[in-house]
Amino acid sequence: MKRLVGQAVLLTILALVFGLGRNMVGSNTIPWVGDWAERDSVLAEIAKNPEALPASAQDGDPPFLTLAQAMERHSQPDVVFLDAREPQDFEAGHIEGSLLLPFDYFDDYWPAVQEKLTPETRIVTYCSGAECELSLFLARHLRSIGYPNVEIFFGGWTIWQEGGQPIESGPPTS
């Protein structure tokens, strides 16, 4: 018993020394005490009003998806997620498997994306989250040029990431 406790204590102390020590040197460090209250308040806000719609939403806009609905779409291989944000945002991180189609540079990126779509393709657009409306504008535009099966995940990158859903980073592969 004495040996057991001695070994366990030594291993625990070593782990503390390595774990906390590593956080004192190098670049990949985190604060000793995280600001979880702020993250909680963001999540609580979302939980209170998960269906919050963009200010400019109008009747007849493509359907808005909740996180749960977006997750369900994402699990289906035939649904294409389109990222309406800036290319550098996309490279820093995006929903797993999504394609880059920045609304602001639509014409530049459209040919590459168009190859992967048919008029029947089910599409989900998103951007960074509640304060961005690019996903809405992109969805409206896609519908107007003949892609009717488009939906909007307005929670976007923020909610997807906070929800711990699959992500990836890097430039788009073509």
> What residues line the site for another protein (CB under 8 A)?
3-12, 14-16, 18-20, 22-23, 28-34, 36-37, 39, 96, 164-168
Residue tagged 């809405």 (tokens): 136
Nearer residue to another protein within complex by CB, 28 or 118: 28
Residue tagged 């702020």 (tokens): 38
Tokens standing for residue 107 = 């014409």
The H or E element containing residue 94 is strand 94-95
DSSP string, 96-112: TT-EE--GGGHHHHHHH
DSSP string, 143-174: HHTT---EEE-TTHHHHHHHTT--EE-SSPP-
Instruction: Please state the closest distance from residue 16 (CB atom) to another protein, in A.
Output: 6
Instruction: Please state the closest distance from residue 119 (CB atom) to another protein, in A.
Output: 32
- 82 in Cβ contact with 124 (< 8 Å): yes
- 83 in Cβ contact with 90 (< 8 Å): yes
Instruction: Please state the closest distance from residue 23 (CB atom) to another protein, in A.
Output: 5
Nearer residue to another protein within complex by CB, 26 or 146: 26
Residue tagged 């657009």 (tokens): 125
Instruction: Please state the closest distance from residue 20 (CB atom) to another protein, in A.
Output: 6
Nearer residue to another protein within complex by CB, 6 or 171: 6
Instruction: Please state the closest distance from residue 108 (CB atom) to another protein, in A.
Output: 29
Nearer residue to another protein within complex by CB, 10 or 112: 10
Nearer residue to another protein within complex by CB, 91 or 96: 96
